[in-house]
Structure 1
Amino acid sequence: MTERTRLLDRAIIGGRRFFVGLSASRAVRRGAGLWLTALLFAATGIYGMERGGHMPAAIETARDMGDAAANLAGFKIANVNLSGQNHVTPGDILATAGVKPTSSLLFLDAEGARMRLEQFAWIKRATVQKLYPDRLDIQVVEREGFALWQKDGRINVIARDGTVIAPYSDDPRYIRLPIVVGDGAQTHVVEIVDALSLVPGVRDQVRAAIRVADRRWTLKMRNGIDVRLPEHGLSDALEHLAVLDQRKSLLSRDITVVDLRLPDRVSVRLSDAAYEARQAELKAKAKTKKGSSS
């Protein structure tokens, strides 16, 4: 039994007792008795609709009747002023706010409409104002696409606060957004995007930032190199990487991994071809050294 049902049970029982008590009193006039009888029947009807699951339909019908009466009285919504929308269509805004062609300004719940609009993924804030007798103003502030988040093979556009806005599409507005990957990447997206913005020479070479165990980042560079970043000191590590790339063209070398997780050293892993070439070079040097010593 729901809380609403329990309350209605109590109201019906209390109403019956009150009605019986008043009916037995000589002080009750006939008019009062009629009103109490009507109220009791109304409460009983509401109770029955609640128990039968018909309450939503009854409320909707009552609202429509109220709107019809209010419209006849001059409170029909004749002008709707929408502002701030870019991604969200006017139809979506009105439908979400609960504004129908038959809605009246008098019975429109402005606060409820605002709350429903702010549950819409694209809408960050909304303002709903009723200007009597027939004007409705709705202003929205939309979220902006901040990054693309890839997880479980799906890519979504996310806002700066990590809110998923929409599935990725070929919309030109999304093509240049940074890409983050993995669990937790959406909630830490500002951290990596802002840090990379300070080293544009590195940022422009990044294909995606991968969140590892929701503790640190690995950058997947466009040429295939993985840059393993530390859990702490992210900005310092990226600045160090930028200096190494500028002075020694680190990110253009034949390597597969740059490991910056230790603060006092930088480790690299050569590609297979570079490793074999290095081994051959070392053997040649050793052979030359041995020949010269003999």
Structure 2
Amino acid sequence: MVSLSGSWLANGGGIWMLAAFYGATAAYGIHVGDRSSEVVESTRDVGDAAANFAGFKISTVNLSGQNHVSPGEILATAGVKPTSSLPFLDAEAARMRLEEMAWIKRATVQKFYPDRLDIQVVERQGYALWQKDGKINVIARDGTVIAPYSDDPRYVKLPIVVGEGAEAHVVEIVEALDLVPGVRDQVRAAIRVADRRWTLKLRNGIDVRLPETGLDGALASLAVFDRDKSLLSRDITVVDLRLADRVTVRLSDAAYEARQADLKARAKAKKGSNT
């Protein structure tokens, strides 16, 4: 609950105050139709003053649901000032402005006469970190950017997606990886490639190239290969799953040279045994 400072209910309030209030209400309605912001603001101030004298000054604001957004930001965005009156606060316009805030997914603004305002908000939750053009932002499930990244403990364990279009497809890759926790836990970041497919960058430096379609199946196959063959622990640099009928791997330079040396040694040994 937020109590707005000042003396909220005027003492007295005779017939002339009520007349001024109703007159201001009518004038406000006319000027809102004209859409003249300066005139509307001026008329609202006059209306607020008259309504306040008549006992309709907002004295209490009940806020609920806010966590990342401060009460001051909510009140300012909703247009609630120390001089605001209940009749001249446009609840629907206030709701729309609140829902334009990055953190707020949904808002409800209710007026309870003579002097109480209730504002309920549902905030977006940080779903992933999105890196693009060297900047990292916290994004919601629907891809909305809600805040620059910080070392807040709530964010450090969020999955990381990278590149153009990654924010719009974040649910696709996060939910697919959740089905294979053994693979997911090795992923450092998921990189969106040409806004068509994903490449996983693992913590040990291996790149896993995923197909445009059949994402779940490809990851399930990868999980099986890793479980049975310890594929992701081998001395390789790339696992290519883009073709449905095969898995291709690229050895590291050191592993490749060692394999070539081994093949030459075997060939030499075989040749010697045949002489």
User: Structure 1 residue runs of 4+, over 4 Å off?
Assistant: none
Which residue does 1:203 correspond to in 2?
184
| Of 85, 94, 104, the match for 1:113 | 94
- Greater RCO (Cα-Cα under 8 Å, separation 6 or more): 2
Query: Is residue 244 from structure 1 mapped to residue 222 from structure 2 by the alignment?
Result: no
Which residue does 1:276 correspond to in 2?
257
Query: Matched residue of 2:52: which SS?
Result: helix
| Of 170, 174, 188, the match for 1:189 | 170
Scaled by the length of structure 2, what TM-score is found?
A: 0.87
**C-alpha distance in 2 between matches for 1:68 and 1:274:** 81
- Offset of residue 57 of structure 1: 2.8
- Offset of residue 211 of structure 1: 0.5
Q: What is the root-mean-square deviation in Å for CA atoms of aligned residues?
A: 1.4
**C-alpha distance in 2 between matches for 1:134 and 1:56:** 25
Which residue does 1:127 correspond to in 2?
108
**C-alpha distance in 2 between matches for 1:59 and 1:196:** 53
| Unaligned ranges ≥5, structure 2 | 1-26
**C-alpha distance in 2 between matches for 1:264 and 1:111:** 56
- Offset of residue 178 of structure 1: 0.2
**What amino acid is the match of 1:288?**
A
- Aligned-pair identity in percent equals 81
Which string of whole-angstrom CA distances, capped at 9 and with x for unpartnered residues, describes residues 115-139 of structure 1?
Answer: 0000001000000000000000000
**Larger Rg, first or second structure (1 or 2):** 1
Pairs within 5 Å for 1:67-216: 67-216=48-197
Kindly indicate which of the two structures has a greater share of residues assigned to helix: 1
Which string of whole-angstrom CA distances, capped at 9 and with x for unpartnered residues, describes residues 230-285 of structure 1?
Answer: 00100000000000000010000000000000011000000000000001000110
Which string of whole-angstrom CA distances, capped at 9 and with x for unpartnered residues, describes residues 208-237 of structure 1?
Answer: 000011110000000000000000100000
What is the number of residues matched between the two proteins? Answer: 244
**C-alpha distance in 2 between matches for 1:144 and 1:255:** 37
**C-alpha distance in 1 between matches for 2:61 and 2:80:** 10
**C-alpha distance in 2 between matches for 1:167 and 1:89:** 17
**C-alpha distance in 1 between matches for 2:196 and 2:90:** 45
Query: Is residue 63 from structure 1 mapped to residue 44 from structure 2 by the alignment?
Result: yes
- Offset of residue 58 of structure 1: 2.9
**What amino acid is the match of 2:205?**
G
Query: Matched residue of 1:137: which SS?
Result: strand
